[in-house]
Structure 1
Amino acid sequence: MRVAVIGGGPGGYIAAIKAAMLGAEVTLLEKAKVGGTCLNAGCIPTKALLASAEKLNAIKEAEEFGISIDGKVNVNFEVMMERKDKTIEQMVKGIKFLLEKRKVRLLNGFGKLVEKNKIEVQLNDGSLEIIEADKIILATGSVPIIPPLFPYDGNKVITSNEALFLKEMPESLIIVGGGVIGCEFGQFFNKLGTKVTVIEMAEQLLPPEDKDTAKQLERAFKKDKIKVMTNAKIVKCEVIDNQVVATLEDGKVLTAEKILISVGRKPYLEDLGVEDIGIHTSFGKIIVNDKMETNIEGVYGIGDIINSPFLAHVATKEGTIAAENAMGLNKKINYKAIPRCVYTDPEVASVGLTEKEATAKGIQYNRGQFDFRALGKAQVIGRYQGFIKIIVDAEDKIIGAAIVGPHATDLLAELTLAVHLGITAQDMGEVIHPHPTLTEGIMEALHDVHKSCLHSV
Structure 2
Amino acid sequence: MKQAVLSSSGSRVNGEALKLQEGQRKAAAETFWPVVSAREKQTEDHERTLKAHKEVENPQKTMEVNGLMPLPDSYDYDLIVIGGGSGGLAAAKEAAKYEKKVMVLDFVTPTPQGNSWGLGGTCVNVGCIPKKLMHQAALLGQALQDSRKFGWQFTEEVKHNWMTMTESVQNYIGSLNWGYRVALRDKKVTYENAYGEFVGPHTIKATNKKGVEKLYTAEKFIIATGERPRYLGIPGDKEYCISSDDLFSLPYCPGRTLVVGASYVALECAGFLAGLGLDVTVMVRSILLRGFDQDMANRIGEYMKEHGVNFIREFVPIKVERVEEGTPGILKVTAKSTTGNQIIEVEYDTVLLAIGRDPCTRKIGLDKVGVNINEKTGKIPVNDEEQTNVPYIYAVGDILQDKLELTPVAIQAGRLLVRRLYAGATTKCDYLNVPTTVFTPLEYGACGYSEETAVEKFGEENIEVYHSHFWPLEWTVPSRDNNKCYAKIICNIQDNERVIGFHVLGPNAGEVTQGFAAAIKCGLTKEQLDSTVGIHPICAEVFTTLSVTKRSGRNTAVSGC
TM-score, normalising length: structure 1: 0.92
1:390 corresponding residue in structure 2: 489
CA distance in structure 2 between the partners assigned to 1:246 and 1:138 by the alignment: 39
**1:368 Cα deviation (Å)?**
1.4
Distance 1:60 1:376, change over 3 A: closer
Indicate the larger mover: 291-300 or 237-246.
237-246
2:464 corresponding residue in structure 1: 366
Of 360, 368, 374 in structure 2, the residue corresponding to residue 276 of structure 1 is 368
**1:400 Cα deviation (Å)?**
1.0
Distance 1:316 1:448, change over 3 A: farther
Indicate the larger mover: 16-25 or 387-396.
16-25
Asked if 1 retains the 8 angstrom alpha-carbon contact of 2:316 and 2:336, the reply is yes
Of 234, 239, 246 in structure 2, the residue corresponding to residue 162 of structure 1 is 246
Of 289, 292, 296 in structure 2, the residue corresponding to residue 213 of structure 1 is 296
Asked if 1 retains the 8 angstrom alpha-carbon contact of 2:261 and 2:355, the reply is yes
1:172 corresponding residue in structure 2: 256
CA distance in structure 2 between the partners assigned to 1:441 and 1:378 by the alignment: 16
1:42 corresponding residue in structure 2: 127
Of 384, 388, 413 in structure 1, the residue corresponding to residue 514 of structure 2 is 413
Asked if 1 retains the 8 angstrom alpha-carbon contact of 2:293 and 2:450, the reply is yes
Of 187, 191, 197 in structure 2, the residue corresponding to residue 106 of structure 1 is 191
Distance 1:63 1:90, change over 3 A: same
CA distance in structure 1 between the partners assigned to 2:557 and 2:527 by the alignment: 17
Q: Judging by fraction of residues, say which structure has more strand.
A: 1
Of 120, 129, 146 in structure 1, the residue corresponding to residue 205 of structure 2 is 120
2:468 counterpart letter in structure 1: F
**1:412 Cα deviation (Å)?**
0.6
* CA deviation map 1:299-356 (0-9, x unaligned): 1011121112222122222212322233243332321112231112210111111111
CA distance in structure 2 between the partners assigned to 1:193 and 1:379 by the alignment: 23
Root mean square deviation of aligned Cα: 2.5
1:27 corresponding residue in structure 2: 103
1:347 corresponding residue in structure 2: 443
Query: Quick check: 1:289 aligned with 2:383?
Result: yes
* Larger CA Rg, structure 1 vs 2: 2
**1:151 Cα deviation (Å)?**
1.5
2:18 corresponding residue in structure 1: none
Task: Give unmatched runs, 5+ long, in structure 2.
Answer: 1-7, 9-77, 109-117, 325-329
CA distance in structure 2 between the partners assigned to 1:425 and 1:329 by the alignment: 35
User: 3-state SS of the aligned residue for 1:292?
Assistant: coil
2:407 corresponding residue in structure 1: 312
Of 263, 268, 278 in structure 2, the residue corresponding to residue 184 of structure 1 is 268
Distance 1:23 1:379, change over 3 A: farther
Identity %: 26
CA distance in structure 1 between the partners assigned to 2:557 and 2:379 by the alignment: 48
Indicate the larger mover: 171-180 or 248-257.
248-257
Distance 1:432 1:103, change over 3 A: farther
Asked if 2 retains the 8 angstrom alpha-carbon contact of 1:116 and 1:298, the reply is no
Query: Quick check: 1:85 aligned with 2:170?
Result: yes
Asked if 1 retains the 8 angstrom alpha-carbon contact of 2:236 and 2:319, the reply is no
1:330 corresponding residue in structure 2: 426
Indicate the larger mover: 78-87 or 15-24.
15-24
CA distance in structure 1 between the partners assigned to 2:146 and 2:485 by the alignment: 19
CA distance in structure 2 between the partners assigned to 1:232 and 1:262 by the alignment: 14
Indicate the larger mover: 6-15 or 55-64.
55-64
**1:150 Cα deviation (Å)?**
4.7
1:397 counterpart letter in structure 2: R
**1:147 Cα deviation (Å)?**
1.6
Distance 1:124 1:322, change over 3 A: farther
2:40 corresponding residue in structure 1: none
CA distance in structure 1 between the partners assigned to 2:543 and 2:476 by the alignment: 16
Asked if 2 retains the 8 angstrom alpha-carbon contact of 1:29 and 1:107, the reply is yes
2:489 counterpart letter in structure 1: I
Of 377, 382, 393 in structure 2, the residue corresponding to residue 299 of structure 1 is 393
How many residue pairs match? The answer is 452
1:197-212 map, 5 Å: 197-203=281-287, 205-212=288-295
1:227-242 map, 5 Å: 227-241=310-324, 242=330
User: 3-state SS of the aligned residue for 1:215?
Assistant: helix
2:426 counterpart letter in structure 1: N
* CA deviation map 1:218-272 (0-9, x unaligned): 2322222211123333344333444222223232322212211100000001421
Asked if 2 retains the 8 angstrom alpha-carbon contact of 1:53 and 1:188, the reply is yes
Indicate the larger mover: 378-387 or 166-175.
378-387
CA distance in structure 1 between the partners assigned to 2:172 and 2:524 by the alignment: 38
Indicate the larger mover: 233-242 or 244-253.
233-242
1:371 counterpart letter in structure 2: H
Asked if 2 retains the 8 angstrom alpha-carbon contact of 1:383 and 1:406, the reply is no
**1:402 Cα deviation (Å)?**
0.8
Distance 1:252 1:362, change over 3 A: farther
TM-score, normalising length: structure 2: 0.75
CA distance in structure 1 between the partners assigned to 2:433 and 2:440 by the alignment: 22
Of 153, 157, 161 in structure 2, the residue corresponding to residue 72 of structure 1 is 157
Query: Quick check: 1:245 aligned with 2:341?
Result: no
**1:448 Cα deviation (Å)?**
5.1
CA distance in structure 2 between the partners assigned to 1:171 and 1:442 by the alignment: 40
2:12 corresponding residue in structure 1: none
1:107 counterpart letter in structure 2: E
Asked if 1 retains the 8 angstrom alpha-carbon contact of 2:335 and 2:343, the reply is yes
User: 3-state SS of the aligned residue for 1:331?
Assistant: coil
1:224 corresponding residue in structure 2: 307
Query: Quick check: 1:256 aligned with 2:348?
Result: yes
User: 3-state SS of the aligned residue for 1:434?
Assistant: coil
Distance 1:449 1:324, change over 3 A: farther
2:335 counterpart letter in structure 1: T
**1:380 Cα deviation (Å)?**
6.6
Distance 1:22 1:433, change over 3 A: farther
Asked if 2 retains the 8 angstrom alpha-carbon contact of 1:190 and 1:226, the reply is yes
* CA deviation map 1:277-296 (0-9, x unaligned): 00111131111011000011
Indicate the larger mover: 427-436 or 88-97.
427-436
Distance 1:296 1:56, change over 3 A: same
Query: Quick check: 1:135 aligned with 2:215?
Result: no
1:423 corresponding residue in structure 2: 524
Asked if 2 retains the 8 angstrom alpha-carbon contact of 1:34 and 1:96, the reply is yes
Asked if 1 retains the 8 angstrom alpha-carbon contact of 2:413 and 2:428, the reply is no
* CA deviation map 1:167-212 (0-9, x unaligned): 2213311111122111111122222232111011123x22323333
2:247 counterpart letter in structure 1: A
Query: Quick check: 1:437 aligned with 2:504?
Result: no
Indicate the larger mover: 103-112 or 400-409.
103-112
CA distance in structure 1 between the partners assigned to 2:477 and 2:522 by the alignment: 33
**1:378 Cα deviation (Å)?**
5.9
Indicate the larger mover: 162-171 or 119-128.
119-128
CA distance in structure 2 between the partners assigned to 1:68 and 1:339 by the alignment: 40
